[in-house]
Amino acid sequence: MDNLPESVVKTITRLQKLTDDKQRYEQLIHYGKKVTPLPLERCTEANRVPGCVSKVYIEAQLTPDGTVSYAGEADALIVKGFVGFLCVALAGLPPQVIVNLPADFLAATGLAVSLTPSRANGFLSIFQTMQIQAATLQMS
């Protein structure tokens, strides 16, 4: 975790400190409540996360200071928690940093052991969509 941005390390550490799956899920629900909601009219196919069983929508915007902010929506509480976790972890980072983050940092959360394979794939798909959107912002 030495090469990861502070916001990512801080968010991972919060989950690692929790002693059981129930606490981790409660923390995810907490993150889900922090997500900037994506207005219904922007929950379009262009913003939909592919590879998720749940309906998940993410939209990235470049802030005036050159960092990325995300808004999101999901139809499942835990999945919305994944979105919230990633929004908190990636908050305030420039697009290039997000694009270059290795996906293996997700394993450090300790969540993978308690997720079904489809949920674990969905978590990864959400992260990859956020990276793609950051890359698009970087090019504009």
* Number of Cα atoms under 13 Å in the Cβ half of residue 137: 24
> Residues 105-114: contacts with CB within 8 Å, 24+ apart?
105/1, 105/4, 105/8, 105/12, 108/1, 108/12, 108/16, 109/12, 109/15, 109/16, 109/24, 109/85, 110/15, 110/16, 110/18, 110/24, 111/15, 111/24, 111/28, 114/21, 114/24, 114/25
Report the sign of the C-alpha dihedral through residues 45, 69, 71, 120, in that order.
Answer: positive
Q: Which residue out of 52, 68, 71, 88 is catalytically annotated?
A: 52
Say whether 52 is catalytic: yes
User: Which sequence positions are flagged as catalytic?
Assistant: 52
